[in-house]
């Protein structure tokens, strides 16, 4: 076997791709994009709720979340408004760790936030080390403007899929569009295929 095996892919971008997905520009700062006011959730009342397609519920308090193994992903962010920010450093719990004990045959997830925001994606895209419940950014507790105390982080899709102030994950047999998807944004949102709007 060679040093680089035939199936090898860089961790941050598909093989053969340029540094930025099509149509994106680089930014150094970290813009805040919120469709409404920033909710403030006290940690002693915070909870994360996973509901399966058979209405089984799994709950984590803040301290239960903190007791799960954490990871420190360094990832590129791509917003559909065309800014990209490279090599952002996070700390969080992988969805693999969170959903490991959840029994489901569902193929879709509808993620919801404190404040009412929702976004959908295939359940598979939350797994295999590709998504986290993130609560630290750049060495500090995640600030409310960027989704603190905890947000979803799914960096391989456009950033609107990374629900800030994450509160619930509903596992569904049939796909159901979220807030921006209902407004005409793409159901999947792969930045490398420039899936910005329905029909892209």
Chain residues that interact with Mo ion, rule: CB under 5 A:
33, 79-80, 160
CA distance 143 to 128: 27
Q: Pick the closer one to ligand MTE by CB: 35 or 105.
A: 35
Please state whether 101 falls in left (phi above 0), alpha (psi between -120 and 50) or beta: alpha
Q: Pick the closer one to ligand MTE by CB: 91 or 104.
A: 91
| Residues contacting ligand MTE: total by CB under 6 A | 18
Selected binder of ligand MTE within 160, 168, 172, 191 (CB under 6 A)? 160
The option from ligand MTE, Mo ion, none interacting with 31 (CB < 5 to 8 A, set by class) reads: ligand MTE
Q: Pick the closer one to ligand MTE by CB: 104 or 168.
A: 168
Nearest to 96, CA basis, from 74, 58, 68, 63: 68
Question: Between 98 and 117, how does the x/- string for binding to ligand MTE read (CB under 6 A)?
Answer: ---------------x-x-x
36-75 residues in contact with ligand MTE (CB under 6 A) are none
Q: Pick the closer one to ligand MTE by CB: 93 or 152.
A: 152
Selected binder of ligand MTE within 17, 26, 35, 173 (CB under 6 A)? 35
């Amino acid at each position: 076997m060679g040093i680089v095996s035939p199936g090898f892919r860089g961790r941050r971008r598909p093989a053969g791709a340029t540094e930025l997905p099509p149509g994106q520009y680089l930014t150094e700062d970290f813009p805040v994009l919120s469709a409404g006011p920033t909710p403030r959730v006290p940690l002693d009342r915070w909870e994360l709720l996973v509901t399966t397609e058979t209405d089984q519920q799994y709950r984590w308090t803040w301290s239960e979340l903190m007791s799960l193994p954490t990871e420190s992903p360094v990832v590129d962010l791509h917003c559909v408004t065309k800014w990209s920010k490279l090599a952002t450093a996070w700390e969080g719990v992988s969805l693999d760790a969170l959903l490991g004990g959840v029994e489901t045959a569902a193929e879709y997830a509808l993620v919801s936030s404190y404040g009412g925001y929702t976004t959908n994606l295939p359940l598979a895209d939350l797994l295999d080390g590709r998504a986290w419940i993130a609560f630290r950014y750049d060495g500090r507790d995640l600030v409310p403007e960027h989704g603190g105390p905890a947000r979803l982080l799914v960096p391989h899709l456009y950033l609107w899929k990374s629900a800030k102030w994450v509160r619930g994950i509903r596992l569904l047999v049939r796909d159901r569009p979220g807030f921006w998807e209902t407004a005409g944004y793409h159901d999947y949102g792969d930045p490398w295929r420039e899936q910005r709007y329905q029909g892209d």
